[in-house]
Each structure stands twice: as structure tokens, then as C-alpha cells.
């Protein structure tokens, strides 16, 4: 008897050369996804906690154009470092290249881990990492690494676009930093 699995159950499909009366030897766990890492919090909450832990690590770092360390960092290097340290993802070094990563998403659909891009006056573009609750982490040229609100009139005026480098569930599966106690992932 041929397998009667749903057509979307990849592991239960009949394979070429296999008799039609075999039973599937394995099937994916139901909704395994992020449960492998943490069965108490959904992916956006896990990502938010990890990003807030990174914010605590980088807080107080001054802005320095071309800087890539905690002695001084620019916006795209902060993104590059946070994604490497938190998600083991290699991001391009510059905002001009980061703006091509992943897929474009509407500002109304932002999730923690999405990139937000701005076109302020002048030659440079700006990038930050959305952390939830309408806020993003970035290296500000005036105050260094900080959280800012997308509702701020300045950021609203110069908002350009948002991008999702990796889908939320896959980003959460790549987490590899200890999460600080007391840092919540709500929102």
C-alpha cells in the first residue's frame, strides 16, 4: 500500500525505486522549528532578548566612521558584528551592500532582527537593527551605540526601507549567545 502522507510531508513521500508499500522511516517532528532551542519563547522573543544582550555589550561605544570595534564603530560595522556574534551570519561590511541582504519588508511588518535603513542628508546612508516595540539599535553619529524609536520625527523623515536578512524562525535557530537574565523578549 502506498504511503498516504500529505503532499507537503517531504519525508513521507514515495521515492523513485522504492516499493509503494513501504512505511516512511522518518517524519519531521510536528512544528519542531524553534522548539529545538527553547520551548518557552517564540522566535521573536528569543531574538529580541539576544539583541538586547548585544545592546548591553555595545552600549557606550562611541561612533567612529570606519570603526569596527568597541573602541569606535560605525552603523554598518555594528550590524556586521552583532549578526556575526549573535547569529553566526556574515553580513557585508557597508550599508550600501547590507541594503541588498534578504528581502524587503514593510515597516508595519518589522520583527526583531530586521534591518532598518535611512537616507539622512549627506552622502552616507544609515542602518540599524530592529529590536521590537518600535525601537532599533544603531551606532548614532552623535551619541554612539543606542536604542532609538522609529516614531522619532527625525527617523520617520529619513526612513528608507526595511529588510529581513533571514526569516525569524531561522534566525532564532542560529542564536548562540547566553541570554541575560531579566532581559525580556516581549513586544
Per-residue model confidence as pLDDT tens digits over 115-146: 999 999 988 899 999 999 999 999 999 999 99
Q: What value does the mean pLDDT of the chain take?
A: 82
The grid coordinates listed for 128 are 540599524
The DSSP code sequence of 21-75 is: TPPPS--PPTT-GGGGT-SSS-HHHHHHHHHHHHHHHHTTPPB-TT-EETTEE-H
| Candidate list 22, 55, 100, 126, residue with the active-site label | 126
Residue 36 has a pLDDT of 38
Q: Is 81 helix (H, G, I), strand (E, B) or coil?
A: helix
Q: Which of 35, 55, 75, 170 is catalytic?
A: 75
126 annotated active-site: yes
Percentage of residues in the chain with pLDDT exceeding 70? Answer: 72
**pLDDT digit string (tens) for 141-161?**
999 999 999 999 999 999 999
| 69 confidence band (pLDDT: 50, 70, 90) | very high
Catalytic-residue membership of 75: yes
Backbone angles phi, psi at 70, to 5 degrees: -70, -10
Task: Check if the beta carbon of residue 87 is closer than 8 Å to that of residue 96.
Answer: no
Catalytic residue, from 22, 35, 138, 170: name it: 138
**Where does the pLDDT of residue 39 fall: very low under 50, low under 70, confident under 90, or very high at 90 and above?**
very low
| H/E element, 82 | helix 75-87
Domain residue extents for the chain: 36-95+109-173
> Does position 51 have pLDDT exceeding 80, yes or no?
yes
**CATH of region 36-95+109-173:** 3.90.1720.10
Q: How confident is the model at residue 86 (pLDDT cuts 50, 70, 90)?
A: very high
**Is residue 22 annotated as part of the catalytic site, yes or no?**
no
pTM score of the predicted model:
0.74
Q: What are phi and psi of 132, to 5 degrees?
A: 110, 170
Amino acid at each position: 500500500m502506498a504511503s498516504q502522507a500529505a503532499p507537503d510531508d517531504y519525508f513521507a513521500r514515495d521515492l523513485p525505486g522504492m516499493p509503494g508499500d513501504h512505511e516512511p522511516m522518518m517524519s519531521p517532528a510536528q512544528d519542531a522549528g524553534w522548539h529545538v532551542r527553547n520551548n518557552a519563547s517564540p522566535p521573536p522573543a528569543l531574538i529580541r532578548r539576544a539583541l538586547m544582550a548585544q545592546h548591553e555589550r555595545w552600549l557606550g561605544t562611541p561612533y567612529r566612521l570606519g570603526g569596527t570595534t568597541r573602541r569606535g564603530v560605525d552603523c554598518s560595522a555594528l550590524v556586521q558584528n552583532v549578526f556575526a556574534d549573535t547569529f553566526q551570519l556574515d553580513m557585508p561590511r557597508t550599508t550600501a551592500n547590507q541594503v541588498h541582504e534578504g528581502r524587503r519588508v514593510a515597516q508595519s511588518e518589522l520583527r526583531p532582527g530586521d534591518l532598518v535603513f535611512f537616507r539622512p542628508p549627506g552622502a552616507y546612508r544609515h542602518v540599524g537593527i530592529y529590536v521590537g516595540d518600535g525601537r532599533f539599535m544603531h551606532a548614532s553619529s552623535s551619541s554612539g551605540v543606542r536604542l532609538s524609536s522609529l516614531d522619532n520625527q527625525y527617523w520617520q523623515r529619513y526612513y528608507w526601507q526595511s529588510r529581513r536578512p533571514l526569516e525569524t524562525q531561522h534566525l532564532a535557530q542560529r542564536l548562540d549567545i547566553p541570554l541575560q537574565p531579566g532581559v525580556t523578549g516581549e513586544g
